[in-house]
Amino acid sequence: MEQYRVSPEVTVDLDTFDTRYEGELSKKDGKKQLKAQSEELRDLQELLFAEGKRKILIVLQAIDTGGKDSTIRHVFGDVNPQGTKVTNFKVPSKEELAHDYLWRVHHHTPGTGEIAIFNRSHYEDVLVVRVHDLVPEAIWERRYKHINEFERLLADEGTTILKFFLHISKTEQAERFLARLDRPHKRWKFNPDDLKERNHWDEYQQAFEDMLNLTSTDYAPWYVIPSDRKWYRNLTIATIIVDKLKSLGMAFPDEVEGIDAHRSELKAMIEG
């Protein structure tokens, strides 16, 4: 899975990434592996919650139709919602705009024992804000440093950060838009403004590249995930998360003292 990690020493060119890559797996085998990974993630999330010492932040970024919602549904569908929260960062409210741009983000970061998933994130302020000239270049340009420092703070305070860029092709995006129109139960997701955003494809690709190159760090790495094949995207992200959680060396808390005595007491209650 390290092949997808963006090294701080390497410059990313998204044109060199194969968005349709699916390894040597068949779709059938890939889905079988995803089921196994999802079950392991469920158990690891329970361990994370029980241990109550660590925090996990998952960031998902993508262009429209990139598959953020679908990824959350398929990768995290089995985990206990008690220890997992999803935040979808939409257009800032009037109250949010009255504060610094990271204000609305910070209180959604995970507490101990939690997995927080950002569906879009603080990176919107170097993406859509940049592409649509919502603030001067001098302002969004310095935000890369702010974001690195913000994530450094989270990491120093015990948060493990994994950031995933779901990389799809322009053709795949058009096919997904069309699929929404062809399926009556999906039409509600289509917005004509999405096609206007598509006109900014090249500007977004440049903004994504700068995001990856300037904010992938050892403590908060980016992973570029080939995402035209949805099943492969889900499997790859699940595998990376599971591998990271397993590497943390988590352990369940010590059992209570006198466990055998409590067991005997309960058996006696049952037997009357």
pLDDT, position 260: 81
Report whether pLDDT(257) > 80: no
pLDDT, position 210: 98
pLDDT band at 33 (very low <50, low <70, confident <90, very high): very high
pLDDT, position 124: 96
For the chain, percent of residues with pLDDT exceeding 70: 100
Strand partners, 84: 115
Query: Which of 236, 242, 248, 246 has its CA nearest to residue 5?
Result: 236
Place of tokens 């949805």: 230
Overall average pLDDT of the 213-241 stretch: 98
Reported as a single tens digit per residue, the pLDDT across 85-139 is: 999 999 999 999 999 999 999 999 999 999 999 999 999 999 999 999 999 999 9
pLDDT, position 89: 93
pLDDT, position 60: 98
Reported as a single tens digit per residue, the pLDDT across 157-195 is: 999 999 999 999 999 999 999 998 888 888 888 888 888
pLDDT, position 238: 98
H helix intervals, 76-191: 94-97, 103-106, 128-131, 137-156, 170-182
pLDDT band at 263 (very low <50, low <70, confident <90, very high): confident
Overall average pLDDT of the 234-252 stretch: 97
For the chain, list the strands marked E by DSSP. Answer: 55-62, 84-88, 115-119, 159-167, 222-226
Taking 3-state DSSP, the helix, strand and coil percentages for the chain, each rounded to the nearest 5, stand at 55, 10, 30
**Ordered structural domains, the chain, with CATH:** 2-271 (3.40.50.300)
Query: Which of 121, 124, 126 has its CA nearest to residue 137?
Result: 126
**Distance in angstroms (rounded) separating the CA atoms of residues 179 and 190:** 10
Is this structure's pTM higher than 0.85? yes
Query: Which of 65, 73, 44, 15 has its CA nearest to residue 197?
Result: 65
pLDDT, position 268: 87
Overall average pLDDT of the 240-264 stretch: 89
pLDDT, position 184: 82
pLDDT, position 264: 86
Report whether pLDDT(256) > 80: no
Reported as a single tens digit per residue, the pLDDT across 4-22 is: 999 998 999 999 999 999 9
